[in-house]
Amino acid sequence: MKITFLGHATTLVEAGGKTVVIDPFLTHNPSASLKAEEVKADAVLLTHGHGDHISDALQIAKQNDCPIIAMVELANHFQSLGAKTHGLNLGGSYQFEFGRVKLTLAFHSSGIDLEDGSVKYAGEPSGILLTMGGKTFYHAGDTALFGDMKLIGEMHEIDVAALPIGDNFTMGPEDAAVAASWIKAGVTFPIHYNTFPVIQQDPERFVKLLEEKQLRGQVLQPGQSLEV
């Protein structure tokens, strides 16, 4: 499994000749390492409905003729816009051609900002357990620290985890380090930080917090990859 960080919370995951993109936010992200029109994918996976996680989902899905996989209400929204979709719900999983997707709990909010200024309910937020090529990647989505992360770690052998550290909208570095100690991934990298002034963080400090807990952390700059 090869995981490439594209900036903010966007990740590209490749294994067995298949590629999926998670939470594509590229066009309006100045730090993104790839343009939306350059993304080649077999599926688009979404954790929740906020604009900094879904803004390029429809374009990528249509240009690749691939499905958007997300919480059922969020999937239905994109289906109404002409995309192929597959809806899941919390705790549910499904075996796709590229691999297995399971939605986990996440403690956050989820709504789609519409052009008329209203907000459309997008279902519950989620994390994603993605298994491809015999390896499992846990993308926590936007979330607070919560106790059932212990269960996620106990029930699944996680090779790589991506945890938000930005604080303000999600857990900060200290809480994320606790989460990492419960999840026990082979390697953990930080996401959802430094895109906006209010979520400025030092990712190297987060890695040091992990090292203090005898955990392996790695900072990925946009465009950088790791393989497991």
Domain boundaries, the chain: 2-227
Q: Are 103 and 88 in contact (CB under 8 A)?
A: yes
Q: Which residue has the tokens 């008329």?
A: 116
Instruction: Quote the radius of gyration of the chain (alpha carbons, Å).
Output: 16
CA–CA dist 207, 202 (Å, integer): 9
Bridge pairing between strands 119-121 and 111-113: antiparallel
The pLDDT value given to residue 204? 98
What residue has token string 């499905």? 67
Which DSSP symbol is given to 36? G
- Dump strand ranges (E) for 122-210: 126-132, 135-139, 160-164, 187-191
Task: Answer yes or no: are the C-beta atoms of 10 and 102 closer than 8 Å.
Answer: no
The angle subtended at Cα 152 by Cα 146 and Cα 155, nearest 5°, is 150
Alpha carbons 167 and 35: distance in angstroms, whole number: 27
DSSP 217: B
Instruction: Name the CATH superfamily, with its identifier, for domain 2-227.
Output: Ribonuclease Z/Hydroxyacylglutathione hydrolase-like (3.60.15.10)
Q: Which of 137, 184, 139, 186 is nearest to 15 (CA)?
A: 137
Measured distance CA(190)–CA(73) in Å, rounded: 28
Query: Are 78 and 56 spatial neighbours (Cβ–Cβ below 8 Å)?
Result: no
pTM exceeds cut of 0.75? yes
Number of helices (H) and strands (E) in the chain: give both, helices first. 6, 15
pLDDT at 18: 98
Q: Please name the residue that has the structure tokens 């390697």.
A: 187
| Successive 10-residue mean pLDDT values, the chain, 228 residues | 98 98 97 96 98 98 98 98 98 98 98 96 98 98 98 98 98 98 98 98 98 98 98
